[in-house]
Structure 1
Amino acid sequence: MHLNGGGDMAKNQITAIVFRLFSGETLTVEQIVDDYGVSIRTAQRFLLTIKETLEDTQLQNQYQLARTAGHYRLQQQRALSEGQVLVLAKLITASRTLNKDELLNILAQLMADLPEPSSKILNQAIANEKYNYHPIADASDRVDRIWQIQSAIHDHLKLRFNYQNNEISERAPLIEVSGQPTVIRQSDYYFFMTLHDEMQDTYQTYRIDWMSEIQVLNRKFDPTVVRQYQVAEKQVEQAYAYDGKDITIEFEYYGYPGYVLDRFPKSRVVKVLDKPRKFDFPVTQIQIDVEYSLGIQMWLMTQSNILRVIKPVFVAKDVKDWLQEGLNFYKE
């Protein structure tokens, strides 16, 4: 960084100021006047020289001399705009995936070094979400755990961990699991990891907050198993991160069809049906390509008052059976 600031003494003083700014200090013109015995005009010229030098070098993409209420500091150029930070903050708080300490730490990092006016706007925009934030019941830390798993995936190393599947029983047994981690994903409120079982050549998905005693083993695995598991395809074909079998489901839909097309990108409106409307939308016949599982079954149930499955026949039967079971709960 070459400084053009006059004589040797001035250059030395400017260099000293630069070092102080790079160390994180915030300086005022008055401080520079007092510390270096120069006039206000000279102190202002020093700061202008530093600002112009930064703008004329490759450092302009990394740093800028920021001024807030008469205080000067060296600010790293942000990779994200204020709007992008706001969107990310809203998404993170809405997910409820992290405990409150982890959430607040990430939000603070996202908003670090924002100009004061922008920081004030963003803090006001998410104040209510922060105050009323209610994470999922499992309040354990998971950020470091997620990074540990992702690092193992990157280095093609196997994992061993204990797992308690609380979904199957009130007193689910703690089992030991080992295998090849392939991908981490987030669905609804939870983070999941999918593991490849080398012996059976199958993939199994685990909730990360139900994993404990995670060990990264010093044993490499075949990296092709990561490429074979197409997580992007899985996420648009699944519901609630349940693995299943590939099928096409066709149904009559009496609600807003755009919701289905957004929820399942591999879906299409086959035709518009000449049937009485339930709402102010035409009745549509829709096909969705999905992995049929408990997750898809649960989604179908959430739409059961505006959806009638046409085929496959076994899916229509499943829906009828679930509706009957639900109705039985309300019989006197």
Structure 2
Amino acid sequence: MMQSNYRVAELIVQFMSGATLQLADIQKKYDISVRTSQRDLSYIRKALKEYDAGDLIEQQGAYHLAHDSAQLDYEMVLATSNILLGTRALAPDKLNVTLDYLCSGLSLTMQAALRKQLTIPRGSYVPLSKPKQLLRRLHEVALCIANNQRLTFTYLSSQPTEPEPLLHHAQPVALFFEVHYFYVAMLSQERAGYWLYRLDRIVDIQAKTAGEKLDYAECFSLQDHRHHTYLVDDGELMQIHFIYRFYPQTALDAFPGSRVIQKNTDGSVIIEAYVKIGGAIRWLLSQGSGVKVISPVSLVKQMRKELAAARDQYTE
């Protein structure tokens, strides 16, 4: 019995020190059977659980101790890595550097498990058609926000009327990510107010000068933007109502703050939302016959016009 207690205690010490032990090596070192080694590990697992000291994890015959905090670290890195892969925003080389950095804080065993979990997502990563090297630019703009600096930069607009980069003067106040792209909200001289600039469309930052210490309460509201905007921060803010025939949560997620105000007998719902109408129309059109706008009248007319124009493109 004394020998058995010593063996279990020694195994616990090894696990607590971070060792990964093979079941076959445990059996060989202590000259014990498979049944005895599994019983010892069962005792250890029970004791660890009783004292909230972690969990004994088995992977292909190898055992290691995962503390609750370490397990949480693994889960957070796994989630963050998959989110990053889903954005498609980074060039492949910078993506790999970033994923490796996220992984580096884990134990060697967990690093191996994470790499195995990410084999398919990393192997099937498809970047945007023209990915930019954004990490340095992200850091640069973040420092400008922290230091209240004003920028002079060239910017390539997505508007067909501006095919070449134009000079802009603006002070950045907020940096955020949304649907494949990083954006910077800036107090713009050219736009006479706050405007959203896509980070990858900033061609060259030519100068940085001292800006104003802007009152956050008067700055661009990222919360309002995310509640009222879908893809394009454009158009009048208005309340709209529409019938939705697909899974309601899809529409509710597209427009945060929206709500179902009526459930219809045919399974459809009526949704109320407050939106910037420019981007909202794009989403509504993307849902095809699954959506019917019912108010306001101005939006109903605009939807008819857009749908008729789309139909006319396919007439012979």
Q: C-alpha separation between the residues in 2 aligned to 1:147 and 1:300?
A: 36
Instruction: Tell me which residue corresponds to 1:288.
Output: 273
Distance 1:269 1:316, change over 3 A: same
Q: Structure 2: where are the runs of 5+ without partners?
A: 1-68
Give secondary structure in 2 for the equivalent of 1:81. Answer: helix
Paired residues for 1:188-267 under 5 Å: 188-198=179-189, 201-224=192-215, 228-267=219-258
More deviation, 194-203/253-262: 194-203
Q: How does 1:1-332 map to 2 (within 5 A)?
A: 81-165=73-157, 167-169=158-160, 172-198=163-189, 201-224=192-215, 228-274=219-265, 277=266, 282-293=267-278, 295-332=279-316
CA 1:303–1:157 in structure 2 vs 1: closer, same or farther (change >3 Å)? same
User: CA 1:216 to 1:227, structure 2 compared with 1: closer, same or farther past 3 Å?
Assistant: farther
Identity within the alignment, % = 23
* Alpha-carbon distance in 2 for matches of 1:230, 1:202: 13
- CA-based RMSD of the aligned residues comes to 2.1
Query: Residues 156, 137 of structure 1: CA spacing in aligned structure 2 closer, same or farther, 3 A cutoff?
Result: same
* CA distance, structure 2, for counterparts of residue 205 and residue 189 of structure 1: 15
- Change beyond 3 A, Cα 1:78–1:148: farther
Q: Give the Cα separation in 1 of the matches to 2:76 and 2:311.
A: 46
Deviates more, 1:133-142 or 1:168-177: 168-177
For residues 241 and 85 of structure 1, do their structure 2 counterparts lie closer, same or farther at Cα, with a shift above 3 Å needed? farther
TM-score (norm 2): 0.73
Structure 1 position 176, deviation (Å): 0.2
1:283, distance to aligned residue in structure 2 (A)? 1.7
Say if 1:199 and 1:95 are closer, same or farther in 2 by CA, change over 3 A: closer
In 2 relative to 1, CA 199–79 (structure 1 residues): closer, same or farther, beyond 3 Å? farther
Matched residues in 1 for 2:108 and 2:232: separation? 40
Judging changes above 3 Å, is the alpha-carbon distance between structure 1 residues 110 and 78 closer, same or farther for their aligned structure 2 residues? farther
- Range moving further from structure 2, 176-185 or 87-96: 176-185
Q: Post-superposition shift, 1:225?
A: 5.5
- The answer to whether the Cα contact below 8 Å between 1:138 and 1:209 also exists between their aligned partners in 2 is no
Q: TM-score, normalised by structure 1?
A: 0.70
Whole-Å separation in 1 of the counterparts to 2:152 and 2:122: 35
Contact 1:196–1:225 (Cα < 8 Å) also in 2: no
Give how far 1:206 is off: 1.3
TM-aligned CA deviation for residue 245 of structure 1:
2.4
Deviation at 1:183, TM superposition (A): 1.1
- Tell me which amino acid in the other structure corresponds to 1:183: A
Q: Distance in 1 between matches of 2:112 and 2:94?
A: 21
